Amino acid sequence: MRKLLDDLGLHRQGLGFYTLRHVFLTTAEESRDRIAVAHVMGHVVPGMGTAYREKLSDERLRAVREHVRGWLFGKAKKPKPR
């Protein structure tokens, strides 16, 4: 991460991989799907649900991604029907 930031001329004290994780988690949790956010982060949510959950749908994971993307780049405009 440091090399990438250096190459882009973006490195500064306190900016690194864990900063990215903190910002992602804080923003992604606003999507209100903490289970999907934890999955993306590689966290295990304590409780029996984790033991029995077979998978998370791609739609849930996409919703988290799109929420963070919208926060970072602004909401995407839907194309007008022809």
pLDDT tens digit sequence for 14-47: 888 899 999 999 999 999 999 999 999 999 888 8
CA-based torsion, 29, 31, 36, 37: positive or negative? negative
DSSP tag of 56: -
Pairwise CA distance, residues 33 & 1, whole Å = 28
7-42 burial by CB neighbour count: b if 16+ within 10 A, else e? Answer: eeeeeeeeeeeeeeeeebbebbeebebeebbbbbee
pTM above 0.85, yes or no: no
Q: Average pLDDT of the chain?
A: 90
As given in the structure block, the two tokens for residue 12 are: 């500064």
Q: How confident is the model at residue 80 (pLDDT cuts 50, 70, 90)?
A: low
